[in-house]
C-alpha cells in the first residue's frame, strides 16, 4: 500500500494525473493532512447541520391549498313547498312537547366555513327551546341549529 501511495504521490508531483488504482489513492495528496478549522467561524451545531438536509418546501402552504381545493362540498338542498309544509307541521308538534325536552333527530345543511356549499349532517339530542326570534333550535347541550338549514326533524 505504501508503495502504491509513493508511486501515486510521485505521479502527482510530476504533474501527471493518475486515473487508475483504488479510489483512496485519488486523495493521497491530502489524506495525511489535518482537518482545517476556521479561526473566523465557529463550528456549526449538529442541529443546524441536520437542518441543511431537511425537506425543502419551496411553496409554503401549497400542499394545504391543493388539499382544500380537492375537498368536496355539496350544494345546499332547497326544500319544495310540500317539504316545507311537512317540516313546519313537525316543528309545531314538537313545540307542543317542549316541556318534556323531547329527543329529536335533526337533519340539516351545515355550510362550509371556507368555500361555497357544505355538508348534510345529522344531529341527535334533546330539544330545549325553539327560539322564534333568532330562528334557532336550542338543544339541552347548548348546541344551536338554524331553522333555515333544517332538512328534516323527527321526534322520538
Give residue 16's pLDDT band: very low, low, confident or very high (50, 70, 90).
low
Give residue 4's pLDDT band: very low, low, confident or very high (50, 70, 90).
low
- Torsion angle of C-alpha atoms 131, 132, 136, 141, degrees rounded to 10: 20
Instruction: Please give the span between the terminal C-alpha atoms of the chain, in angstroms, as a whole number.
Output: 91
Cell, residue 41: 467561524
Each residue of 95-152: pLDDT tens digit? 999 999 999 999 999 998 888 889 999 999 999 999 999 999 999 999 999 999 999 9
Provide the mean pLDDT of the chain: 85
Task: Summarize the confidence of residues 19-27 as an average pLDDT.
Answer: 71
pLDDT of residue 59: 76
pLDDT of residue 108: 94
Dihedral over Cα of 41, 46, 52, 57: its sign: negative
Task: Summarize the confidence of residues 70-85 as an average pLDDT.
Answer: 89
Q: Is the pTM of this model over 0.75?
A: no
Cell, residue 152: 328534516
Three-class SS state of 65: helix
Task: Summarize the confidence of residues 18-36 as an average pLDDT.
Answer: 77
Annotated domain spans of the chain: 2-54, 81-155
Topology (CATH) of 81-155: SH3 type barrels. (2.30.30)
Provide φ and ψ at 78, rounded to 5°: -100, 130
Cell, residue 28: 493521497
Number of C-alpha atoms within 13 angstroms, CB side, residue 82? 0
Each residue of 38-52: pLDDT tens digit? 889 998 899 988 888
> DSSP letters of 92-150?
HHHHTTGGG--EEEEEEEEE-SSSS-EEEEEEEEEEEEEETTTTEEEETTS-EEEGGGE
Amino acid at each position: 500500500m505504501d508503495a502504491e501511495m509513493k508511486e501515486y504521490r510521485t505521479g502527482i508531483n510530476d504533474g501527471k494525473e493518475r486515473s487508475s488504482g483504488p479510489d483512496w489513492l485519488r486523495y493521497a495528496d491530502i489524506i495525511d493532512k489535518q482537518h482545517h478549522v476556521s479561526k473566523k467561524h465557529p463550528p456549526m451545531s449538529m442541529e443546524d447541520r441536520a437542518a441543511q438536509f431537511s425537506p425543502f418546501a419551496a411553496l409554503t402552504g401549497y400542499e394545504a391549498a391543493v388539499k382544500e381545493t380537492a375537498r368536496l362540498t355539496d350544494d345546499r338542498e332547497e326544500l319544495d313547498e310540500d317539504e316545507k309544509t311537512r317540516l313546519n307541521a313537525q316543528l309545531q308538534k314538537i313545540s307542543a312537547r317542549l316541556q318534556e325536552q323531547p329527543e329529536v333527530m335533526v337533519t340539516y345543511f351545515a355550510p362550509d366555513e371556507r368555500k361555497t356549499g357544505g355538508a348534510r349532517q345529522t344531529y341527535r339530542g334533546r330539544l330545549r327551546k325553539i327560539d322564534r326570534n333568532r330562528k334557532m333550535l336550542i338543544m339541552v347541550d347548548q348546541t344551536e341549529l338554524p331553522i333555515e338549514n333544517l332538512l328534516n326533524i323527527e321526534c322520538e
